[in-house]
Amino acid sequence: METNIKSLQKEEAIKRMKELKLMPEVINSFIEENTLYYSERQNKMFTAVLYWVTNNEELATKIKEFERQTNSLVYHVQLLHTSIGDMYSFFYVSENIEEWEMDMDDLKDHRSFVYVWNGDIEEYGSIGFRSEMGGVVRTW
């Protein structure tokens, strides 16, 4: 069952990445090499710059810990710089298959239930987003 759910989660993650309109190279890297990216707003011109998660060791470790503890699969991360620190929003596929259709409907409406982490704060909640530059920009 464990292997089967992981396989189903990856298939679902690929569908969601396409719905987010992530850059094709980002999706292909995830499919072929399990490479994970995050989107970061640099400024008004560069709103969704893509980086490899492996460039951020603390983030990569946190993602692995989150996936292990929740039996989820993270497929993208959005980094938002705020006055209270950097907020990482983890887009993920849970192990609850019965929720996947609702999750996809949310993505189509430019919102998602995510796990948010900034090193100190950890919480679940809904965020708004838009697809831009092959990545994701958080809107609320």
Q: Beta-carbon neighbour count of residue 110 at 10 Å?
A: 15
pLDDT at 4: 92
pLDDT above 90 for 43: no
CB 79 within 8 A of CB 40: yes
- The whole-chain average pLDDT of the chain stands at 95
How does DSSP classify residue 110? T
Query: Of 48, 53, 15, 49, which is closest to residue 31 (Cα–Cα)?
Result: 15
Taking the model in full, what pTM does it have? Answer: 0.95
Distance, C-alpha 108 to centroid of its chain: 15
- Where do the domains of the chain lie? 2-138
pLDDT above 60 for 74: yes
